[in-house]
Structure 1
Amino acid sequence: MTLAPRTGAVIFARLDSRRLPEKALREVAGRPLLGRVIDRVRQIRNIGRVILATSDRAVDDRLQSFASKEGVEVFRGDADSTLNRAVACARRFSLDVILRVCGDSPFLLPEVAEELIRVVEEKNFDLATNVSPRTFPVGMSAEAIRTQALEIAQESADSAECHEHCTRYFYLHPGRFNIYSLTRGTNLSSMNFAVDTPADLERASQLCQLLGNRVDVAGLPEILATAARLDGAKADS
């Protein structure tokens, strides 16, 4: 296995979710949601380290404790600006490239993440994304970003929106960056596998249970087939 020590997966999570408070530590089939995300991230072969980037507020102390027990490095920073937190985290760990991972995505696709990282590392791209245009399901998003490009965005961002979402500035000003968009032939953007509500949490738990010992490694076709089986069973009940 070849590791890229200057590339790190950075999981962004906080405990003050409005729609599902403390969701990062809520259990998904017997394991905290953040743990499920970590398990999937660890399947990515071309990263050098896994880092949790959370806020510097006391409310997120439990996230740091959980991540540390999982053997995940932790960075704590700006609670209001994900962009500032991303740049500071990349600098703290001397990362050339970060893979942005949402802490609400227990079905992140490692094979997609690997491709995004490869494109940024080996070709002249500042950002590789499967977010825009979106053809993958919600909750299977990832972005590989050069730290130098993040720093440009940070210096130029002049709105709360661009600070709240660390890559928003890239999409608003695509002419300033070399952006690679990974898309798929069949548009699945209407599907959702993210965990934002109690109903999402219940469905994710049921899906993890059906996947069984494949839960950490299942690819997109297997996840889709299992989700169809789950939804079909619900429709028949």
Structure 2
Amino acid sequence: MTLFLVKRLTPTLSWVIDYALISSMTKIVAIIQSRQGSSRLPGKALKPLFNGKGALELMLQRVAPSKKVHQFIVATTRSESDNAIESLCKQLEVACFRGSEEDVLDRYFEAAKLVKATHIVRLTGDCPIQDYEVIDRLVSSFFEDDLDYAANAITPTYPDGFDAEIFTMETLKLLKEKATKPSEKEHVTPYIHSHPELFKIKNVSFNRDVSHLRLTLDTIEDFDVLQKLAPLVFGGTEYCHINSILDYLDSHPSLLEINKKYERNEGYKKSLEKDLNN
């Protein structure tokens, strides 16, 4: 398998100083899980959202300027329906790994092992307006406190659609060994949340609680919201950060009515039902 790197930006002075906290042997890899086989919105990863680009391509555009991540990988499945995701990655010169459809934990483990990652940032492809500064803040906080795991949604304060996690390769290995429930394998990190005594954990909060906002992509209503936001987020000449998005939503509250009937983490709740039937 050929692996490609996302093109990087020139490092800034602040980037160089911040990296003093990080060992030269460290390799931070952001793995973005993505697949076409959604039950509620089939084909959502590549469904054109703005200027002919789908959610996955737009998300890669949003996270590529990260000053903390060394490499990005899209982790998709071996399903024939995901051949198009691999083709997109080759076109964009982004690394693509293909693995288990159901066991997402194994997909992460094998992808991280392949590129010799020391730290993994977990992202999901249904967050097309993710902000690279949200990721960088999480990574910085992780290294400042020498943690095993950090996330910004243990106690949610960010909008749904800006979730991110970071953990060590050692932590991922432990999850691979210990996780047995369907929910733990599908959602990668639940074992950490149910066994906090085994890990050094931190929740990274936003400066205000806007966790009720739904800016993720899982339903046709979500697609409608994101399509209406897309000109603001992707159409300008300057990067549109999370605060600008929130300011826009403050002045356009009707947008938030479109998909507010959906609960956060509905997919995880369904996985817990599988645990009971297993």
Partner deviation per Cα, 1:86-114 (whole Å, 9 max, x = no partner): 11111001000111111010121211211
Residue 164 (str. 1) matches residue 186 (str. 2): yes
Relative distance call for 1:132 and 1:210 in structure 2 (3 A) is same
Partner of 1:14: 35
Displacement after TM superposition at 1:45 (Å): 1.1
Displacement after TM superposition at 1:217 (Å): 2.3
| Aligned match for 1:89, one of 105, 111, 125 | 111
Stretches of structure 2 that go unaligned for 5 or more consecutive residues are 1-10, 258-278
User: Residues of 1 paired with 2:228 and 2:58: CA distance?
Assistant: 13
User: Residues of 2 paired with 1:234 and 1:81: CA distance?
Assistant: 33
Paired positions, count: 235
2:218 counterpart SS class? coil
| Aligned match for 1:74, one of 82, 96, 114 | 96
Stretches of structure 1 that go unaligned for 5 or more consecutive residues are none
Bigger CA drift: 206-215 or 185-194? 206-215
User: Residues of 1 paired with 2:129 and 2:234: CA distance?
Assistant: 13
User: Residues of 2 paired with 1:234 and 1:165: CA distance?
Assistant: 26
Partner of 2:275: none
Assess if the C-alpha contact under 8 Å between 1:29 and 1:206 holds in 2.
no
Displacement after TM superposition at 1:227 (Å): 2.4
The alignment yields a C-alpha RMSD, in angstroms, of 2.0
Relative distance call for 1:198 and 1:129 in structure 2 (3 A) is same
Relative distance call for 1:20 and 1:129 in structure 2 (3 A) is same
The residue identity in structure 1 corresponding to 2:58 is R
Relative distance call for 1:91 and 1:234 in structure 2 (3 A) is closer
| Aligned match for 2:172, one of 135, 150, 154 | 150
The residue identity in structure 2 corresponding to 1:95 is A
2:45 counterpart SS class? helix
Percent identity between matched residues is 26
Partner of 1:45: 67
